[in-house]
């Protein structure tokens, strides 16, 4: 009976979460995990930028003031200019939520979702762009198609749909040789598609290196796509040979 009463009695000295957080040391070195943010077209979505700060703050036991300081240090370009031109953001009394709201209002995307769907659908790998860089660009475009909702089940469905669209956009937009290989394979994730694309790209580069060896071309003459440029040395030698022949044909005066 005594043991049961003891178990049912409230613990007077049990520490709560707030006191535990105050007891933990502060670790600002985690700020290195927060990426730079410019607010530009190719920047990380602003919600993900703030999520990274808040996640780092939870791990590092930061205060709201620390979150604002880290955010300000990570701003570049347009985002930095906005911060410098808005004195309210530097007011020590402003809360973190109000601080975020100012940025969300300024850098919200006013374009319709259909615009981002179109950008993702028309994405193509650029000349000199690696498969990893192209996938990163497609991923940013796919993130912009995802609506934000408070329903976790619905949000998960949106995220899964974006992943399927990302896989489709990546496989349709990569360069022709890798695209054929990817389409011949049944893929479940975009990581598998990237692995095949990188493998094909490396094989093309190796083939170009082998061709360069037999053609007496330099490694620097191989393009990022794996093709061989016409070596400048061969053009120079041809010009010198033609000049020597013309000189030999010149009559002696």
Is there a domain that residue 187 lies in? yes
pLDDT classification of 179: cutoffs 50, 70, 90 = confident
Query: Could you tell me if 119 and 206 lie in one domain?
Result: yes
Query: Could you tell me if 37 and 53 lie in one domain?
Result: yes
Is there a domain that residue 231 lies in? no
Q: What is the mean pLDDT of residues 206-231?
A: 58
Residue 173 has pLDDT above 60, yes or no: yes
Query: Could you tell me if 95 and 152 lie in one domain?
Result: no
Is there a domain that residue 87 lies in? yes
Query: Could you tell me if 95 and 145 lie in one domain?
Result: no
Q: What is the mean pLDDT of residues 176-184?
A: 77
Residue 94 has pLDDT above 80, yes or no: yes
Query: Could you tell me if 72 and 158 lie in one domain?
Result: no
Query: Could you tell me if 54 and 99 lie in one domain?
Result: yes
Q: Which domain holds residue 50?
A: 33-108
pLDDT classification of 25: cutoffs 50, 70, 90 = confident
Please identify, among 195, 211, 227, the residue that sits at the C-terminal boundary of a domain: 211
Is there a domain that residue 222 lies in? no
Q: 216-233: b or e for each residue (b if 16 or more CB lie within 10 Å)? A: ebeeebbeebbebeebee
pLDDT classification of 108: cutoffs 50, 70, 90 = confident
Q: Token pair of 58, please? A: 């939870």
pLDDT classification of 224: cutoffs 50, 70, 90 = low
Q: Which residue has the tokens 């580069």?
A: 205
Q: Token pair of 5, please? A: 């009463």
Query: Could you tell me if 149 and 189 lie in one domain?
Result: yes
Domain count along the chain: 2
Residue 217 has pLDDT above 70, yes or no: no
Is there a domain that residue 247 lies in? no
pLDDT of residue 245: 54
> What is the number of other CB atoms lying within 10 angstroms of the CB of residue 163?
15
pLDDT classification of 96: cutoffs 50, 70, 90 = very high
Residue 218 has pLDDT above 60, yes or no: no
pLDDT of residue 184: 74
Is there a domain that residue 8 lies in? no
Residue 234 has pLDDT above 60, yes or no: no
Query: Could you tell me if 133 and 72 lie in one domain?
Result: no
Please identify, among 59, 84, 108, the residue that sits at the C-terminal boundary of a domain: 108
pLDDT of residue 252: 53
Helices H / strands E in the chain, number of each? 12, 0
Question: 203 versus 161: which is more confidently predicted?
Answer: 161
Question: In which region does residue 9 sit, left (phi positive, over 0), alpha (psi from -120 to 50) or beta (all else)?
Answer: beta
């Amino acid at each position: 009976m005594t043991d049961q009463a003891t178990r049912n009695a409230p613990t007077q000295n049990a520490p709560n979460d707030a006191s535990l957080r105050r007891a933990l040391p502060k670790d600002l070195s985690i700020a290195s995990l927060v990426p730079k943010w410019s607010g530009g077209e190719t920047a990380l979505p602003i919600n993900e930028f703030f999520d990274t700060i808040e996640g780092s703050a939870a791990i590092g036991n930061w205060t709201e003031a620390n979150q604002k300081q880290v955010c300000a240090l990570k701003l570049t370009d347009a985002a930095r200019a906005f911060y410098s031109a808005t004195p309210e953001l530097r007011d020590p009394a402003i809360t973190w939520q109000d601080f975020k709201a100012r940025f969300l209002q300024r850098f919200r995307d006013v374009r319709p979702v259909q615009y981002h769907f179109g950008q993702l659908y028309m994405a193509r790998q650029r000349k000199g762009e690696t498969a990893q860089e192209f996938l990163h660009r497609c991923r940013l475009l796919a993130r912009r198609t995802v609506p934000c909702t408070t329903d976790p089940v619905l949000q998960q469905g949106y995220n899964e749909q974006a992943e399927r669209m990302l896989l489709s956009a990546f496989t349709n937009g990569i360069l022709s040789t890798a695209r054929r290989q990817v389409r011949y394979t049944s893929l479940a994730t975009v990581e598998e598609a990237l692995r095949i694309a990188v493998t094909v790209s490396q094989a093309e580069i190796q083939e170009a290196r082998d061709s360069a060896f037999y053609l007496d071309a330099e490694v620097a003459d191989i393009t990022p796509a794996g093709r061989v440029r016409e070596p400048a040395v061969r053009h120079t030698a041809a010009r010198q040979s033609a000049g020597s022949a013309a000189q030999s044909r010149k009559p002696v005066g």
